[in-house]
Amino acid sequence: MIHPVKRLCSIAVSLLAISAVTGAWAQAPAASVETNPWPTKSVTLIATYAAGGFVDTRMRLLARKLADKFGQPFVVENKVGAGGVVGTAAIAKATPDGYTIGSGNLAPLAVNPTLMTMLPYNPQKDLVPVILIENSPLVLSVSNSLPVKNLAELIALAKKEPGKLTFGSSGIGGAHHLSGEMFRDLAKIDIVHVPYKGGAPASTDLMAGHISMMFEMGYAALPAIEGKKIRPLAVTSTKRLALLPDVPTMAELGVADFESYNWQGIIAPAGTPAAIVTRLNTALNEILRDPDVIKQIADTASQAGGGTPEDFARFIASETAKWAKVIKSANIQPQ
């Protein structure tokens, strides 16, 4: 017979081991979809950015695939504002019954907890990660008017003329901006950030030569690259992009430890039953192996994700730590 004190100690050790694996994220309560079938009605899938954009397009693709799998409608609802904060807060505050889920993105989950002093949600306490959908590397391109042909020449010019070269972004705290700050830090150069109200005007000014360079998502940069309106120097992933096979990675070119993505996944409100989270995760892993989905993701210069909810939680934690270091080092302040 096990002594009660020893048994309590054993339970405590087991709970600590589980906590070490899953981190501080809210844990979904155990439940059975057999005793409480799901879904039996329409599911709302919140897209945290505007209709027609990158997030919205991907969420609508997933909604169609999920509807086919489960035989119930998955309806995309756009809740936009504050760089994804409004939509993420709506997911966090929704009833945790599996009938409201949504997109989980870089800024709302991994950047804003450091950048913003107050958020209407706590990512670790109010949300449950379901799965990473995709990583989207960025492309560092320069204006055709800039007299450089490769990354080494760009760094040399920046060191020769400190404070003269500029890099554009879609705004404070986005992947474009943070990638530029990471580049500034790792390459030991002095370049000036020029924030815009969106990626499109920044891209337009890059083509016009009003800014020197920009880290831009692959799908957005490709038309200008193919039209030879800008010059790509490097990509921010650890491997070259299939759509840009001749463009090396930052690491290949000597900027060690440089890795940057705009990414998105699926999240649910804290308290969503574990069985539903598992069922969603299983279905989405299958969808991410669908050749049609793989092609659509690859066509936007992105890389398909996958894995367990715990994998996604660990990824978010690592991204939060990485960008917190950049934000603090560069003393980035919210607009």
For the stretch 174-184, pLDDT in tens is: 999 999 999 99
126-166: pLDDT as tens digits: 999 999 999 999 999 999 999 999 999 999 999 999 999 99
- CA–CA separation, 153 and 137 (whole Å): 22
186, 270 contact by CB (below 8 A): no
For residues 223 and 202, is the Cβ–Cβ distance under 8 A? no
Exposure string for 121-146, b = 16+ CB within 10 A, e = fewer = bebbebbbbbbbbbbbbbbbbbbeeb
CATH topology agreement for domains 25-135+261-330 and 137-235: yes
Contact 274, 31 (CB under 8 A): yes
What mean pLDDT comes out for the span 263-276?
98
CB-count burial class (<10 Å; 0-12, 13-18, 19+) for 302: buried
pLDDT at 329 over 50: yes
Handedness of CA 286, 296, 304, 123 (dihedral sign): negative
- pLDDT (0 to 100) of residue 25: 60
Token pair for residue 329?
A: 């080092």
Q: How confident is the model at residue 2 (pLDDT cuts 50, 70, 90)?
A: very low
210 Cβ neighbours under 8 A, 6+ residues apart: none
Looking at residue 37, its pLDDT comes to: 87
Q: What percent of the chain lies above the pLDDT cut of 70?
A: 89
| Short-list 65, 63, 69, 109, CA closest to 85 | 109
Q: Is 27 a residue whose pLDDT tops 80?
A: no
Residues 6 or more apart in contact with residue 214 via CB below 8 angstroms: 140, 141, 167, 168, 169, 176, 180, 202, 203, 206
Structural domain spans, the chain: 25-135+261-330, 137-235
Q: Does residue 4 surpass a pLDDT of 80?
A: no
Class of domain 137-235: alpha beta
Cα gap 163→123, rounded to integer Å: 36
The arithmetic mean of pLDDT across residues 37-63, rounded, is 96
pTM attached to this predicted model: 0.87
Determine contact, residues 303/86, Cβ cutoff 8 Å: no
pLDDT band at 304 (very low <50, low <70, confident <90, very high): very high
Q: Where are the alpha helices (DSSP H) in the chain?
A: 4-22, 54-70, 85-93, 106, 112-115, 123-126, 151-160, 175-187, 199-208, 218-226, 274-287, 291-298, 309-330
How much is the pLDDT for 21? Answer: 38
CATH among 3.40.630.30, 3.30.930.10, 3.40.190.150, 3.30.70.380 for 25-135+261-330: 3.40.190.150
What is the per-residue pLDDT across 55-92, written as a single tens digit (0 to 9) for each? 999 999 999 999 999 999 999 999 999 989 999 999 99
The average pLDDT across 92-103 equals: 98
Task: Kindly give the interhelix angle for 274-287 and 309-330, rounded to the nearest 10 degrees.
Answer: 80
- Per-residue model confidence as pLDDT tens digits over 190-219: 999 999 988 899 999 999 999 999 999 999
- The identity of residue 147, as a single letter, is P
What pLDDT does residue 166 have? Answer: 98
**Tokens linked to 236:** 């921010």
What per-residue confidence (pLDDT) applies to 32? 46
